Structure 1
Protein backbone atom coordinates (compact mmCIF):
# COMPACT_ATOMS: atom_id res chain seq x y z
CA UNK A 1 0.00 0.00 0.00
CA UNK A 2 2.73 2.62 0.75
CA UNK A 3 3.98 2.41 -2.85
CA UNK A 4 0.40 2.99 -4.04
CA UNK A 5 0.14 6.04 -1.79
CA UNK A 6 3.36 7.45 -3.20
CA UNK A 7 2.02 6.91 -6.71
CA UNK A 8 -1.20 8.76 -5.80
CA UNK A 9 0.81 11.68 -4.44
CA UNK A 10 2.85 11.84 -7.63
CA UNK A 11 -0.35 11.83 -9.70
CA UNK A 12 -2.32 14.40 -7.74
CA UNK A 13 0.45 16.55 -6.26
CA UNK A 14 3.24 16.57 -8.86
CA UNK A 15 6.58 17.47 -7.35
CA UNK A 16 5.41 16.70 -3.81
CA UNK A 17 7.81 14.07 -2.50
CA UNK A 18 6.92 12.15 0.64
CA UNK A 19 9.82 12.17 3.06
CA UNK A 20 7.95 10.03 5.57
CA UNK A 21 4.88 7.82 5.25
CA UNK A 22 3.55 6.42 8.52
CA UNK A 23 0.46 4.24 9.11
CA UNK A 24 -1.74 6.07 11.65
CA UNK A 25 -4.87 3.98 11.85
CA UNK A 26 -7.02 1.30 10.34
CA UNK A 27 -10.62 0.27 10.64
CA UNK A 28 -12.99 -2.12 9.01
CA UNK A 29 -13.32 0.09 5.93
CA UNK A 30 -10.17 2.24 5.68
CA UNK A 31 -6.44 2.46 6.27
CA UNK A 32 -4.86 5.88 6.90
CA UNK A 33 -1.30 7.14 6.42
CA UNK A 34 0.35 10.35 7.59
CA UNK A 35 2.62 12.08 5.08
CA UNK A 36 5.42 14.24 6.53
CA UNK A 37 3.26 15.17 9.50
CA UNK A 38 1.17 17.33 7.17
CA UNK A 39 -1.26 15.21 5.17
CA UNK A 40 -3.51 12.28 5.97
CA UNK A 41 -4.18 9.92 3.07
CA UNK A 42 -7.09 7.58 3.79
CA UNK A 43 -7.49 4.54 1.56
CA UNK A 44 -10.62 2.41 1.36
CA UNK A 45 -10.04 -1.31 1.62
CA UNK A 46 -12.67 -1.80 -1.09
CA UNK A 47 -12.98 1.35 -3.23
CA UNK A 48 -16.49 2.68 -3.78
CA UNK A 49 -16.20 5.70 -6.11
CA UNK A 50 -19.69 7.01 -5.36
CA UNK A 51 -19.12 6.78 -1.61
CA UNK A 52 -15.85 8.69 -1.91
CA UNK A 53 -17.47 11.44 -3.98
CA UNK A 54 -20.31 11.64 -1.47
CA UNK A 55 -17.96 12.01 1.49
CA UNK A 56 -16.03 14.80 -0.21
CA UNK A 57 -19.33 16.58 -0.88
CA UNK A 58 -20.44 16.08 2.75
CA UNK A 59 -17.20 17.58 4.04
CA UNK A 60 -17.67 20.61 1.79
CA UNK A 61 -21.22 21.05 3.11
CA UNK A 62 -20.35 20.55 6.78
CA UNK A 63 -17.21 22.68 6.99
CA UNK A 64 -19.00 26.08 6.90
CA UNK A 65 -21.49 25.18 9.63
CA UNK A 66 -19.42 23.04 11.99
CA UNK A 67 -18.01 24.74 15.11
CA UNK A 68 -15.38 21.98 15.21
CA UNK A 69 -12.79 21.50 12.47
CA UNK A 70 -13.44 18.81 9.86
CA UNK A 71 -10.98 17.52 7.26
CA UNK A 72 -10.04 19.94 4.48
CA UNK A 73 -9.73 17.83 1.34
CA UNK A 74 -6.52 18.38 -0.66
CA UNK A 75 -7.34 15.79 -3.29
CA UNK A 76 -9.52 12.75 -3.76
CA UNK A 77 -9.33 9.79 -6.10
CA UNK A 78 -12.74 8.11 -6.18
CA UNK A 79 -11.62 5.22 -8.38
CA UNK A 80 -9.00 4.32 -5.76
CA UNK A 81 -11.25 5.11 -2.80
CA UNK A 82 -8.79 7.71 -1.53
CA UNK A 83 -9.27 11.01 0.27
CA UNK A 84 -6.27 13.16 1.25
CA UNK A 85 -6.70 16.02 3.70
CA UNK A 86 -4.61 18.36 5.76
CA UNK A 87 -3.70 16.81 9.09
CA UNK A 88 -5.77 18.22 11.91
CA UNK A 89 -4.08 18.81 15.28
CA UNK A 90 -4.79 16.58 18.24
CA UNK A 91 -4.99 12.83 18.71
CA UNK A 92 -7.86 10.32 18.61
CA UNK A 93 -9.63 10.07 21.94
CA UNK A 94 -9.68 6.27 21.95
CA UNK A 95 -5.90 6.16 22.13
CA UNK A 96 -5.23 9.42 23.98
CA UNK A 97 -8.10 10.13 26.40
CA UNK A 98 -8.24 13.55 28.03
CA UNK A 99 -7.93 13.91 31.78
CA UNK A 100 -11.43 15.33 32.25
CA UNK A 101 -13.81 14.22 29.48
CA UNK A 102 -16.52 16.48 30.92
CA UNK A 103 -14.71 19.35 29.22
CA UNK A 104 -15.71 17.84 25.89
CA UNK A 105 -19.43 18.22 26.54
CA UNK A 106 -19.90 21.88 25.62
CA UNK A 107 -18.14 21.75 22.23
CA UNK A 108 -19.78 18.42 21.42
CA UNK A 109 -23.22 19.82 22.23
CA UNK A 110 -22.60 22.85 20.01
CA UNK A 111 -21.29 20.66 17.20
CA UNK A 112 -24.25 18.29 17.26
CA UNK A 113 -26.68 21.17 17.54
CA UNK A 114 -25.25 22.76 14.39
CA UNK A 115 -25.08 19.47 12.49
CA UNK A 116 -28.59 18.33 13.34
CA UNK A 117 -30.01 21.77 12.50
CA UNK A 118 -29.23 21.38 8.79
CA UNK A 119 -32.63 21.22 7.03
CA UNK A 120 -33.00 17.70 5.59
CA UNK A 121 -34.63 19.10 2.46
CA UNK A 122 -31.46 21.09 1.71
CA UNK A 123 -29.37 17.93 1.47
CA UNK A 124 -31.03 16.52 -1.62
CA UNK A 125 -29.30 13.24 -2.48
CA UNK A 126 -26.10 14.21 -0.64
CA UNK A 127 -26.43 11.55 2.08
CA UNK A 128 -28.44 8.32 2.24
CA UNK A 129 -31.44 7.79 4.46
CA UNK A 130 -30.59 5.33 7.26
CA UNK A 131 -33.78 3.97 8.81
CA UNK A 132 -32.52 0.60 10.06
CA UNK A 133 -35.18 -0.78 12.46
CA UNK A 134 -34.14 -1.07 16.10
CA UNK A 135 -35.56 -4.60 16.32
CA UNK A 136 -33.16 -5.66 13.56
CA UNK A 137 -30.24 -4.06 15.41
CA UNK A 138 -31.11 -6.04 18.52
CA UNK A 139 -31.17 -9.28 16.52
CA UNK A 140 -27.76 -8.50 15.07
CA UNK A 141 -26.40 -7.69 18.53
CA UNK A 142 -27.77 -10.99 19.86
CA UNK A 143 -26.01 -12.93 17.10
CA UNK A 144 -22.73 -11.08 17.68
CA UNK A 145 -22.95 -11.59 21.44
CA UNK A 146 -23.47 -15.32 21.04
CA UNK A 147 -20.09 -15.53 19.34
CA UNK A 148 -18.20 -13.56 22.03
CA UNK A 149 -20.14 -14.23 25.26
CA UNK A 150 -17.34 -16.39 26.65
CA UNK A 151 -15.05 -13.34 26.68
CA UNK A 152 -17.42 -11.35 28.92
CA UNK A 153 -16.71 -11.75 32.66
CA UNK A 154 -19.34 -14.15 34.07
CA UNK A 155 -20.55 -11.60 36.62
CA UNK A 156 -21.40 -9.15 33.82
CA UNK A 157 -23.09 -11.47 31.33
CA UNK A 158 -26.52 -11.05 32.92
CA UNK A 159 -26.42 -7.31 32.13
CA UNK A 160 -26.02 -7.99 28.42
CA UNK A 161 -28.35 -10.95 28.29
CA UNK A 162 -31.20 -9.16 30.08
CA UNK A 163 -30.83 -6.29 27.61
CA UNK A 164 -30.96 -8.62 24.62
CA UNK A 165 -34.02 -10.39 26.01
CA UNK A 166 -35.99 -7.14 26.41
CA UNK A 167 -38.10 -5.47 23.74
CA UNK A 168 -36.32 -2.68 21.84
CA UNK A 169 -37.58 0.90 22.03
CA UNK A 170 -40.00 2.12 19.39
CA UNK A 171 -38.51 3.56 16.25
CA UNK A 172 -38.78 7.37 15.93
CA UNK A 173 -42.15 8.76 14.90
CA UNK A 174 -42.74 11.29 12.13
CA UNK A 175 -43.06 14.86 13.41
CA UNK A 176 -45.02 16.12 10.41
CA UNK A 177 -47.10 14.82 7.48
CA UNK A 178 -44.16 15.66 5.21
CA UNK A 179 -41.82 13.44 7.24
CA UNK A 180 -44.36 10.65 7.24
CA UNK A 181 -44.76 10.87 3.47
CA UNK A 182 -41.00 10.93 2.88
CA UNK A 183 -40.26 8.19 5.41
CA UNK A 184 -37.77 10.45 7.23
CA UNK A 185 -39.35 10.35 10.70
CA UNK A 186 -37.15 12.41 13.04
CA UNK A 187 -34.15 12.07 10.71
CA UNK A 188 -31.41 14.71 10.68
CA UNK A 189 -27.94 15.00 9.17
CA UNK A 190 -25.70 12.86 11.41
CA UNK A 191 -22.06 11.87 11.45
CA UNK A 192 -23.44 8.40 12.24
CA UNK A 193 -20.22 6.95 13.66
CA UNK A 194 -19.22 9.50 16.30
CA UNK A 195 -17.03 7.21 18.36
CA UNK A 196 -13.91 8.19 20.26
CA UNK A 197 -11.71 7.08 17.35
CA UNK A 198 -13.22 9.83 15.20
CA UNK A 199 -12.84 12.64 17.73
CA UNK A 200 -9.49 14.44 17.92
CA UNK A 201 -8.40 16.32 21.02
CA UNK A 202 -5.32 17.83 22.64
CA UNK A 203 -4.52 15.34 25.45
CA UNK A 204 -2.96 18.10 27.53
CA UNK A 205 -5.65 20.76 27.37
CA UNK A 206 -8.66 18.55 26.67
CA UNK A 207 -9.60 20.76 23.72
CA UNK A 208 -11.45 19.10 20.86
CA UNK A 209 -9.59 19.74 17.63
CA UNK A 210 -11.53 17.88 14.95
CA UNK A 211 -14.11 15.36 13.80
CA UNK A 212 -12.87 12.90 11.18
CA UNK A 213 -14.13 10.00 9.03
CA UNK A 214 -17.48 11.02 7.60
CA UNK A 215 -17.84 7.81 5.60
CA UNK A 216 -21.12 6.85 7.30
CA UNK A 217 -22.78 10.29 7.31
CA UNK A 218 -26.50 9.86 6.80
CA UNK A 219 -29.93 11.30 7.30
CA UNK A 220 -30.94 9.37 10.41
CA UNK A 221 -32.02 9.47 14.05
CA UNK A 222 -29.87 12.00 16.03
CA UNK A 223 -29.82 9.44 18.86
CA UNK A 224 -27.23 7.56 16.80
CA UNK A 225 -24.68 10.36 17.23
CA UNK A 226 -25.31 10.58 20.97
CA UNK A 227 -25.14 6.79 21.38
CA UNK A 228 -21.46 6.54 20.47
CA UNK A 229 -20.67 9.33 22.95
CA UNK A 230 -22.64 7.48 25.62
CA UNK A 231 -20.72 4.27 24.92
CA UNK A 232 -17.23 5.78 24.68
CA UNK A 233 -17.35 8.79 27.03
CA UNK A 234 -19.96 7.62 29.51
CA UNK A 235 -23.46 8.58 30.68
CA UNK A 236 -22.28 11.70 32.56
CA UNK A 237 -20.63 13.21 29.48
CA UNK A 238 -23.73 12.32 27.47
CA UNK A 239 -25.98 14.18 29.92
CA UNK A 240 -23.67 17.20 29.94
CA UNK A 241 -23.48 17.20 26.14
CA UNK A 242 -27.26 17.12 25.98
CA UNK A 243 -27.38 20.15 28.29
CA UNK A 244 -25.36 22.11 25.70
CA UNK A 245 -27.38 20.83 22.74
CA UNK A 246 -29.95 23.22 21.31
CA UNK A 247 -31.43 20.76 18.85
CA UNK A 248 -34.68 18.88 19.26
CA UNK A 249 -34.92 15.35 20.56
CA UNK A 250 -38.20 13.61 21.21
CA UNK A 251 -39.09 12.38 24.71
CA UNK A 252 -38.08 8.81 23.89
CA UNK A 253 -34.63 9.72 22.57
CA UNK A 254 -32.66 8.84 25.70
CA UNK A 255 -34.10 5.33 25.64
CA UNK A 256 -32.93 4.95 22.05
CA UNK A 257 -29.51 6.41 22.92
CA UNK A 258 -28.97 3.79 25.63
CA UNK A 259 -30.26 1.02 23.37
CA UNK A 260 -28.05 2.06 20.45
CA UNK A 261 -25.01 2.50 22.73
CA UNK A 262 -25.42 -1.05 24.05
CA UNK A 263 -25.82 -2.54 20.57
CA UNK A 264 -22.76 -0.59 19.42
CA UNK A 265 -20.72 -1.89 22.36
CA UNK A 266 -21.56 -5.50 21.48
CA UNK A 267 -20.64 -4.73 17.87
CA UNK A 268 -17.25 -3.33 18.94
CA UNK A 269 -16.62 -6.32 21.19
CA UNK A 270 -17.27 -8.71 18.32
CA UNK A 271 -15.21 -6.59 15.93
CA UNK A 272 -12.23 -6.40 18.29
CA UNK A 273 -12.33 -10.14 18.98
CA UNK A 274 -12.74 -10.90 15.29
CA UNK A 275 -11.40 -9.07 12.26
CA UNK A 276 -10.63 -5.73 13.89
CA UNK A 277 -7.91 -4.33 16.16
CA UNK A 278 -8.00 -5.71 19.71
CA UNK A 279 -8.37 -2.24 21.27
CA UNK A 280 -12.04 -2.21 20.22
CA UNK A 281 -12.72 -5.25 22.39
CA UNK A 282 -10.64 -3.92 25.27
CA UNK A 283 -12.58 -0.65 25.29
CA UNK A 284 -15.91 -2.49 25.05
CA UNK A 285 -15.09 -4.64 28.07
CA UNK A 286 -13.83 -1.63 30.02
CA UNK A 287 -17.04 0.32 29.36
CA UNK A 288 -19.49 -2.56 29.57
CA UNK A 289 -20.82 -2.05 33.11
CA UNK A 290 -21.41 1.69 32.85
CA UNK A 291 -22.99 1.33 29.40
CA UNK A 292 -25.44 -1.35 30.49
CA UNK A 293 -26.31 0.21 33.86
CA UNK A 294 -26.20 3.95 33.14
Structure 2
Protein backbone atom coordinates (compact mmCIF):
# COMPACT_ATOMS: atom_id res chain seq x y z
CA UNK A 1 0.00 0.00 0.00
CA UNK A 2 1.07 3.60 -0.64
CA UNK A 3 3.16 5.47 1.92
CA UNK A 4 1.16 8.50 3.05
CA UNK A 5 4.27 10.59 3.75
CA UNK A 6 5.43 10.28 0.15
CA UNK A 7 1.99 11.22 -1.14
CA UNK A 8 1.89 14.34 1.02
CA UNK A 9 5.41 15.39 -0.02
CA UNK A 10 4.48 14.98 -3.69
CA UNK A 11 1.22 16.93 -3.65
CA UNK A 12 1.76 19.35 -0.74
CA UNK A 13 5.54 19.87 -0.68
CA UNK A 14 5.37 22.96 1.55
CA UNK A 15 2.85 21.52 4.00
CA UNK A 16 4.32 20.84 7.44
CA UNK A 17 3.03 17.63 8.95
CA UNK A 18 2.81 18.06 12.71
CA UNK A 19 0.47 15.20 13.53
CA UNK A 20 -0.69 12.12 11.66
CA UNK A 21 -3.42 9.85 13.00
CA UNK A 22 -5.03 6.79 11.45
CA UNK A 23 -8.78 7.33 11.75
CA UNK A 24 -9.64 3.80 10.73
CA UNK A 25 -10.03 1.47 7.81
CA UNK A 26 -12.65 -0.62 6.11
CA UNK A 27 -12.75 -3.00 3.20
CA UNK A 28 -11.75 -0.36 0.65
CA UNK A 29 -9.59 2.32 2.27
CA UNK A 30 -7.33 3.41 5.10
CA UNK A 31 -8.12 6.93 6.36
CA UNK A 32 -5.70 9.34 8.02
CA UNK A 33 -6.15 12.72 9.71
CA UNK A 34 -3.26 15.12 9.19
CA UNK A 35 -2.79 18.10 11.52
CA UNK A 36 -6.41 17.71 12.68
CA UNK A 37 -7.53 19.38 9.45
CA UNK A 38 -6.74 17.26 6.40
CA UNK A 39 -8.23 13.85 5.66
CA UNK A 40 -6.20 11.59 3.37
CA UNK A 41 -7.75 8.36 2.21
CA UNK A 42 -5.56 5.65 0.68
CA UNK A 43 -7.11 2.87 -1.37
CA UNK A 44 -6.41 -0.72 -0.34
CA UNK A 45 -7.09 -1.96 -3.88
CA UNK A 46 -4.10 -3.98 -5.11
CA UNK A 47 -5.02 -3.87 -8.80
CA UNK A 48 -3.45 -0.69 -10.19
CA UNK A 49 -5.97 -0.19 -12.99
CA UNK A 50 -8.96 -0.69 -10.71
CA UNK A 51 -7.43 1.54 -8.03
CA UNK A 52 -6.85 4.38 -10.49
CA UNK A 53 -10.30 4.11 -12.02
CA UNK A 54 -12.06 4.06 -8.64
CA UNK A 55 -10.13 7.10 -7.43
CA UNK A 56 -10.72 9.01 -10.67
CA UNK A 57 -14.43 8.33 -10.55
CA UNK A 58 -14.87 9.29 -6.93
CA UNK A 59 -12.97 12.57 -7.29
CA UNK A 60 -15.04 13.39 -10.37
CA UNK A 61 -18.29 12.48 -8.65
CA UNK A 62 -17.56 14.68 -5.64
CA UNK A 63 -16.89 17.58 -8.00
CA UNK A 64 -20.09 16.88 -9.94
CA UNK A 65 -22.20 16.75 -6.78
CA UNK A 66 -20.94 20.08 -5.48
CA UNK A 67 -23.94 22.35 -5.41
CA UNK A 68 -26.32 19.42 -5.92
CA UNK A 69 -26.09 17.69 -2.56
CA UNK A 70 -28.16 19.21 0.22
CA UNK A 71 -25.54 18.18 2.79
CA UNK A 72 -21.80 18.88 2.87
CA UNK A 73 -19.62 16.34 1.09
CA UNK A 74 -15.82 16.14 0.79
CA UNK A 75 -14.19 18.61 -1.58
CA UNK A 76 -10.93 17.11 -2.91
CA UNK A 77 -7.73 19.11 -2.44
CA UNK A 78 -5.83 16.58 -4.52
CA UNK A 79 -6.44 13.19 -6.03
CA UNK A 80 -3.50 10.95 -6.82
CA UNK A 81 -5.12 8.70 -9.38
CA UNK A 82 -2.16 6.35 -9.78
CA UNK A 83 -1.61 5.85 -6.05
CA UNK A 84 -5.29 5.78 -5.12
CA UNK A 85 -5.05 8.70 -2.69
CA UNK A 86 -7.73 11.33 -2.12
CA UNK A 87 -7.31 14.31 0.22
CA UNK A 88 -9.87 16.82 1.43
CA UNK A 89 -10.40 19.29 4.24
CA UNK A 90 -11.93 17.49 7.19
CA UNK A 91 -15.64 18.08 7.58
CA UNK A 92 -16.79 19.01 11.09
CA UNK A 93 -18.39 16.44 13.35
CA UNK A 94 -17.96 12.74 14.08
CA UNK A 95 -19.57 9.65 12.56
CA UNK A 96 -22.94 8.80 14.06
CA UNK A 97 -21.78 5.30 14.99
CA UNK A 98 -19.17 6.91 17.26
CA UNK A 99 -21.31 9.77 18.49
CA UNK A 100 -25.03 8.78 18.67
CA UNK A 101 -27.47 11.66 18.92
CA UNK A 102 -30.06 11.93 21.67
CA UNK A 103 -33.06 12.05 19.33
CA UNK A 104 -32.16 10.39 16.01
CA UNK A 105 -35.68 10.84 14.66
CA UNK A 106 -34.90 14.56 14.35
CA UNK A 107 -32.39 13.63 11.63
CA UNK A 108 -35.14 12.19 9.41
CA UNK A 109 -36.27 15.36 7.59
CA UNK A 110 -32.67 16.19 6.62
CA UNK A 111 -31.94 12.61 5.56
CA UNK A 112 -35.17 12.43 3.56
CA UNK A 113 -34.34 15.66 1.77
CA UNK A 114 -30.76 14.62 1.10
CA UNK A 115 -31.74 11.26 -0.37
CA UNK A 116 -34.57 12.78 -2.41
CA UNK A 117 -32.14 15.17 -4.03
CA UNK A 118 -29.38 12.59 -4.49
CA UNK A 119 -31.72 10.09 -6.12
CA UNK A 120 -32.95 12.77 -8.52
CA UNK A 121 -29.45 13.52 -9.84
CA UNK A 122 -29.48 13.52 -13.66
CA UNK A 123 -27.94 10.26 -14.78
CA UNK A 124 -26.36 11.78 -17.86
CA UNK A 125 -24.25 13.96 -15.56
CA UNK A 126 -22.87 11.07 -13.52
CA UNK A 127 -23.01 7.93 -15.66
CA UNK A 128 -19.33 8.23 -16.61
CA UNK A 129 -18.40 8.58 -12.93
CA UNK A 130 -20.33 5.67 -11.41
CA UNK A 131 -21.08 2.19 -12.68
CA UNK A 132 -24.31 0.21 -12.59
CA UNK A 133 -24.43 -2.25 -9.71
CA UNK A 134 -27.14 -4.74 -10.75
CA UNK A 135 -26.51 -7.29 -8.00
CA UNK A 136 -29.41 -9.80 -8.07
CA UNK A 137 -31.63 -10.21 -5.03
CA UNK A 138 -30.81 -13.91 -4.90
CA UNK A 139 -27.10 -13.08 -4.71
CA UNK A 140 -27.78 -10.73 -1.78
CA UNK A 141 -29.60 -13.55 0.00
CA UNK A 142 -26.84 -16.06 -0.77
CA UNK A 143 -24.14 -13.70 0.55
CA UNK A 144 -26.20 -13.13 3.70
CA UNK A 145 -26.59 -16.87 4.20
CA UNK A 146 -22.83 -17.38 3.89
CA UNK A 147 -22.23 -14.57 6.39
CA UNK A 148 -24.75 -16.06 8.81
CA UNK A 149 -23.01 -19.42 8.76
CA UNK A 150 -19.81 -17.64 9.84
CA UNK A 151 -21.40 -15.87 12.81
CA UNK A 152 -24.44 -17.85 13.93
CA UNK A 153 -22.65 -19.01 17.07
CA UNK A 154 -22.40 -15.35 18.16
CA UNK A 155 -26.19 -14.88 17.96
CA UNK A 156 -28.61 -16.07 20.64
CA UNK A 157 -31.05 -18.86 19.66
CA UNK A 158 -34.24 -16.74 19.92
CA UNK A 159 -32.80 -14.30 17.38
CA UNK A 160 -31.52 -17.05 15.09
CA UNK A 161 -35.02 -18.36 14.34
CA UNK A 162 -36.34 -15.26 12.49
CA UNK A 163 -33.01 -14.94 10.67
CA UNK A 164 -33.23 -18.52 9.45
CA UNK A 165 -36.86 -18.02 8.36
CA UNK A 166 -35.75 -14.98 6.38
CA UNK A 167 -32.89 -16.83 4.71
CA UNK A 168 -35.26 -19.63 3.70
CA UNK A 169 -37.78 -17.22 2.15
CA UNK A 170 -38.02 -15.98 -1.44
CA UNK A 171 -36.35 -12.60 -2.04
CA UNK A 172 -38.49 -9.67 -3.23
CA UNK A 173 -38.77 -8.95 -6.97
CA UNK A 174 -35.92 -7.08 -8.62
CA UNK A 175 -36.13 -3.25 -8.62
CA UNK A 176 -37.67 -1.55 -11.63
CA UNK A 177 -35.57 1.63 -11.58
CA UNK A 178 -32.07 2.73 -10.61
CA UNK A 179 -30.73 6.08 -9.47
CA UNK A 180 -27.45 7.52 -8.27
CA UNK A 181 -26.89 6.02 -4.80
CA UNK A 182 -24.30 6.58 -2.12
CA UNK A 183 -24.55 2.81 -1.72
CA UNK A 184 -22.92 2.62 1.72
CA UNK A 185 -24.90 5.09 3.82
CA UNK A 186 -24.34 3.53 7.22
CA UNK A 187 -23.92 5.68 10.30
CA UNK A 188 -20.13 5.42 9.98
CA UNK A 189 -20.47 7.69 6.93
CA UNK A 190 -22.94 10.22 8.37
CA UNK A 191 -21.29 12.97 10.41
CA UNK A 192 -22.98 14.86 13.23
CA UNK A 193 -21.79 17.91 15.12
CA UNK A 194 -19.92 17.31 18.36
CA UNK A 195 -22.10 19.80 20.24
CA UNK A 196 -25.32 19.61 18.21
CA UNK A 197 -27.57 16.88 16.89
CA UNK A 198 -27.30 18.16 13.32
CA UNK A 199 -25.84 16.28 10.37
CA UNK A 200 -22.65 17.98 9.23
CA UNK A 201 -21.65 15.85 6.25
CA UNK A 202 -21.77 12.63 4.24
CA UNK A 203 -18.42 10.94 3.61
CA UNK A 204 -16.88 7.94 1.78
CA UNK A 205 -18.41 7.85 -1.69
CA UNK A 206 -16.19 4.99 -2.89
CA UNK A 207 -19.11 2.61 -3.43
CA UNK A 208 -21.42 5.11 -5.16
CA UNK A 209 -23.26 3.44 -8.01
CA UNK A 210 -26.32 3.41 -10.22
CA UNK A 211 -28.50 1.14 -8.13
CA UNK A 212 -31.82 0.62 -6.38
CA UNK A 213 -32.45 3.75 -4.27
CA UNK A 214 -33.85 1.52 -1.54
CA UNK A 215 -30.27 0.47 -0.78
CA UNK A 216 -29.62 3.88 0.76
CA UNK A 217 -32.86 3.89 2.72
CA UNK A 218 -32.17 0.34 3.90
CA UNK A 219 -29.15 1.43 5.90
CA UNK A 220 -31.19 4.13 7.64
CA UNK A 221 -33.49 1.31 8.76
CA UNK A 222 -30.57 -0.96 9.69
CA UNK A 223 -28.57 1.55 11.72
CA UNK A 224 -31.13 4.04 13.05
CA UNK A 225 -34.22 1.89 13.41
CA UNK A 226 -37.76 1.63 12.02
CA UNK A 227 -39.05 4.90 13.50
CA UNK A 228 -36.28 6.94 11.87
CA UNK A 229 -36.76 4.98 8.65
CA UNK A 230 -40.51 5.71 8.61
CA UNK A 231 -39.89 9.40 9.32
CA UNK A 232 -37.23 9.56 6.62
CA UNK A 233 -39.49 8.10 3.93
CA UNK A 234 -42.22 10.50 5.07
CA UNK A 235 -39.82 13.27 3.97
CA UNK A 236 -38.75 11.48 0.78
CA UNK A 237 -39.84 12.97 -2.53
CA UNK A 238 -41.43 9.75 -3.82
CA UNK A 239 -42.75 7.75 -0.87
CA UNK A 240 -41.88 4.08 -1.31
CA UNK A 241 -44.66 1.61 -2.06
CA UNK A 242 -44.99 -1.79 -0.39
CA UNK A 243 -42.57 -3.39 -2.85
CA UNK A 244 -39.97 -0.69 -2.26
CA UNK A 245 -40.28 -1.08 1.50
CA UNK A 246 -39.92 -4.86 1.21
CA UNK A 247 -36.65 -4.42 -0.69
CA UNK A 248 -35.35 -1.88 1.84
CA UNK A 249 -35.99 -4.29 4.72
CA UNK A 250 -34.46 -7.13 2.68
CA UNK A 251 -31.25 -5.16 2.02
CA UNK A 252 -31.06 -4.15 5.69
CA UNK A 253 -31.32 -7.75 6.81
CA UNK A 254 -28.71 -8.98 4.36
CA UNK A 255 -26.27 -6.17 5.07
CA UNK A 256 -26.43 -6.47 8.86
CA UNK A 257 -25.40 -10.12 8.64
CA UNK A 258 -22.50 -9.16 6.39
CA UNK A 259 -21.50 -6.37 8.81
CA UNK A 260 -21.48 -8.79 11.73
CA UNK A 261 -19.38 -11.26 9.74
CA UNK A 262 -16.95 -8.50 8.75
CA UNK A 263 -16.61 -7.44 12.37
CA UNK A 264 -16.03 -10.98 13.62
CA UNK A 265 -13.58 -12.05 10.92
CA UNK A 266 -11.60 -8.79 10.62
CA UNK A 267 -11.32 -7.90 14.28
CA UNK A 268 -13.38 -4.71 13.82
CA UNK A 269 -15.57 -5.80 16.71
CA UNK A 270 -17.61 -2.60 16.81
CA UNK A 271 -19.25 -3.61 13.52
CA UNK A 272 -20.26 -6.96 14.99
CA UNK A 273 -21.45 -5.44 18.27
CA UNK A 274 -23.60 -2.83 16.53
CA UNK A 275 -25.09 -5.33 14.12
CA UNK A 276 -25.97 -7.82 16.87
CA UNK A 277 -27.55 -5.02 18.92
CA UNK A 278 -29.83 -4.14 15.98
CA UNK A 279 -30.93 -7.65 15.03
CA UNK A 280 -34.14 -7.56 17.08
CA UNK A 281 -35.65 -4.63 15.21
CA UNK A 282 -34.24 -5.61 11.83
CA UNK A 283 -35.77 -9.09 11.97
CA UNK A 284 -38.95 -8.11 13.77
CA UNK A 285 -42.09 -9.65 12.27
CA UNK A 286 -43.49 -6.11 11.93
CA UNK A 287 -40.56 -4.80 9.87
TM-score with structure 2 setting the length = 0.95
Choose from 240, 245, 265 the match for 2:256.
Answer: 265
Which residue is 1:115 aligned to? 118
List alignment gaps of at least 5 residues for structure 2.
none
SS of the residue corresponding to residue 76 of structure 1 reads strand
C-alpha separation in 2, matches of 1:150 and 1:33? 34
Match of 2:283 in 1: 292
Residues 53-72 of structure 1: pairs in structure 2 closer than 5 A: 53-72=56-75
State the alpha-carbon separation in 1 of the partners of residues 29 and 241 from structure 2. 34
3-state SS of 1:193 partner: coil
Deviations 1:115-174 (A, max 9, x none): 00112233232210011111111011111111111110112110110110111100012x
Q: Distance in 2 between matches of 1:218 and 1:28?
A: 17
Q: Is the 8 A contact 2:17 2:34 kept in 1?
A: yes
Instruction: Could you tell me which runs of 5 or more consecutive residues in structure 1 were left unpaired when the two chains were aligned.
Output: 174-185
Identify which range, 42-51 or 277-286, moves more after superposition: 42-51
Instruction: Give SS of 2:23's match.
Output: strand
Is the contact between residue 40 and residue 86 of structure 1 (CA under 8 Å) also seen in structure 2?
yes
Partner residue of 1:133?
Answer: 136
**Contact 2:183–2:207 (CA<8 Å) still a contact in 1?**
yes
Contact 1:222/1:249 (8 A) holds in 2: no
Pairing partner for 1:102 from 81, 102, 105: 105
Output the aligned Cα RMSD.
1.4
2:183 to 183, 192, 206: 192
**1:163 maps to what in 2?**
166
Kindly report which structure 2 residues correspond to 1:1-294, keeping only aligned pairs within 5 A, or say none: 4-46=3-45, 48-173=51-176, 186-247=177-238, 249-293=240-284, 294=287
Runs of 4+ that moved beyond 3 A: 247-251
The alpha-carbon distance between structure 1 residues 201 and 157, as it changes in their structure 2 partners (threshold 3 A), is same
Contact 1:33 1:41 in 2 (8 A): yes
Q: Distance in 2 between matches of 1:40 and 1:134?
A: 35
Question: How does the TM-score come out when normalised to structure 1?
Answer: 0.93
Deviation at 1:250, TM superposition (A): 4.7
